[in-house]
Each structure stands twice: as C-alpha cells, then as structure tokens.
Amino acid sequence: MTNKMLIGNWKMEVGSRESVALARGALLALRGKKQLPEVVVCPSFPALADVRKVIARSHVSLGAQNVHHEEKGAFTGEVSARMLEEQGASFCLVGHSERRAMGETDAQVAKKVSELYAHGITPVLCVGETLAQRKSGISSQAVTNQLQSSLTGVSIRGRDRLCIAYEPIWAIGTGTPASPQDAVAMHDTIRQRIGILFPGLASSRLQVLYGGSIDATNAYRFLREPEVGGLLIGGASVHLSQFTKIIAEAADVLEGLSHA
C-alpha cells in the first residue's frame, strides 16, 4: 500500500502553546479523510510532553529534532535516545543541515542512528548537497557519500524502519525548492544506495522524503510523484493553514492513488 509521510520540523520557532495548537490542527486536517498520510510532528524538546498528550491514540506521531550520540553521561544540556523514548517519541531527525553546520559529523550521526534504533525510535536521516556541489555537478556523489558515512556501523534489524530525507542545503529555508524531477532522480539514487548498504531492508521499511522550501503552493507537485514517499516541512509547518493544507493534499493524493 502506498504511504505518504509528512514530517513537520518546528525547529526553535514555536513553544508548547503553539505546538499544541499545531498538533490539534494536524488532527483536524486528518478528520474525515479516507486515506491517511503518516504525519509526524517534531516540536522542541520542552514541548514534547504537551504535544504527546494531544496526539495520543491518533494517526499523528511524535518526533524529536535531535538526540545526543552517547547513551548517557556528563553531557550538560543534551538529550539521550532513552529520554526521547520515555517522552514517547517514535521518530527523530538526525543529521539536519542546521546541526551539521554547528559541527555535527557523519560519525556522530551514525552513532545517533544506532542509539535511536536501540530505543525503538525511527531515525529520519537528512542528507543533501551544497550549492557548490550542485554547481559542480556532483550532487549524487555528495549525497551517496553522506549516506555511506552517516550509516557506517549501523545495523538495521527486524522491524526497524529507515527514513531518509533528501534536503538540498541550498533549498532549505530559501523559498527555492528543487524541481520535482530532480528530487525524484535523487530519490532513486538514495534507494539504490540504501539497497546496497542494507540489502535485507524491505522497501516497505524505507521511506524517502523530500525537504526544502515546501509550502502549500508546491507540496502537491512533489506528493503526486510515486517515488516521493513524503515531505519534511520546516517553515511552512509552523503556519497552521499551510501545514493543514499540505496534510489535506497528501490525503487527497492517497485517495486518488487508491482508485488508480
């Protein structure tokens, strides 16, 4: 069955009160829809508990925006995968370019992925090329290298899922998304590489998403592509009307596909 996943990355934009309102909006947007996209909301750490209450027993899942790569210890201000599990997170972003820009390395990202799996949390691994790499025509190579080194030493077992978000760095927060055609081509590259890295991973356990300047005006053009497993949405996901419109569109695309 086709799945479309929508992940809202609320970054450091909204606190608990607004996060709760956005989560309620997501629930309302799904109400009455026959085909439901898988919606994941990623509030800031302090808002996780409040949002968890709102989405309990619903089709919306809780995600975190980051995790520390060590299991535990004297890491002031950090949050471990076990803590996220206790908070009810079932997804967590890793390797977001905004964190890589703060010094996060591929080796740390790989450790984060393993920590998350150890606690039953699905990683959403973000990869994407820089503008310079794109201009040099090495986008696929850059993304493939990033996948390889961000997943070194990672084992994927049994029912584990893996989400990869293709987020070209030049497209994040700039208002200029990739073209759906370029995104589709990179999704194919990603699927191929993950197939090589994890030959035992069933395709139904791999979700490849696009992220970068998605809003209510362009989301449909990506969602309608069968290769695009969903969207990672930053800026637009903290605007209730945009976020709910994108959710409704994903439900409509799935409804259309169910009749195709």
Catalytic positions are 96, 167
d(CA 221, CA 17): 32
Closest by CA to 213, choosing from 164, 249, 251, 180, is 180
| Smallest distance, ligand PEP to C-beta of residue 98, A | 7
Listed residue (44, 36, 29) closest to 4, CA to CA: 36
Q: Is 51 in the site for ligand PEP (CB under 6 A)?
A: no
Task: State whether residue 176 is helix, strand or coil.
Answer: coil
In this complex, which beta carbon is closest to ligand PEP, that of residue 104 or of residue 167?
167
With binding defined as CB under 6 A, does residue 207 bind ligand PEP? no
Min dist. Cβ of residue 243 to ligand PEP (A) = 11
- Are 49 and 87 within 8 A, CB to CB? yes
215-254 positions binding ligand PEP, by CB under 6 A: 232-236
> Of residues 212, 222, 230, 254, which one binds ligand PEP by CB under 6 A?
212
In the bound complex, what is the minimum distance in angstroms from residue 14's beta carbon to ligand PEP? 13
In angstroms, the first-to-last Cα distance of the chain is 12
Nearer to ligand PEP, 35 or 234 (CB): 234
Q: How far is the CB of 9 from ligand PEP (least distance, A)?
A: 5
Locate the DSSP E strands across 156-226.
162-166, 206-211
Q: Closest CB to ligand PEP among 123 and 234? A: 234
Residues of span 1-30 touching ligand PEP by CB under 6 A? 9
CA distance 232 to 165: 7
Instruction: Compute the distance between CA of residue 126 and CA of residue 122 in angstroms, rounded to an integer.
Output: 13
Q: In the set 43, 180, 211, 229, which binds ligand PEP (CB under 6 A)?
A: 211
- Closest-CB residue for ligand PEP? 234
Q: What share of the chain is helix, strand, coil (3-state, %, to 5)?
A: 45, 15, 40
> Which CB sits closer to ligand PEP, 106 or 215?
215
Hunting for tokens 């077992």 — which residue is that?
157
The site map against ligand PEP for 155-184 (x = CB under 6 A) is ------------x----xx-----------
Q: Does 61 bind ligand PEP (CB under 6 A)?
A: no
CB of 259 to ligand PEP, least distance (A): 30
What Cα–Cα distance (Å) separates residue 210 from each residue in 181, 187, 255?
A: 11, 8, 20
User: Phi/psi class of residue 11: alpha, beta or left (left: φ > 0; alpha: ψ in -120 to 50)?
Assistant: left
Which residues make up the interface to ligand PEP (CB under 6 A)?
9, 167, 172-173, 211-214, 232-236
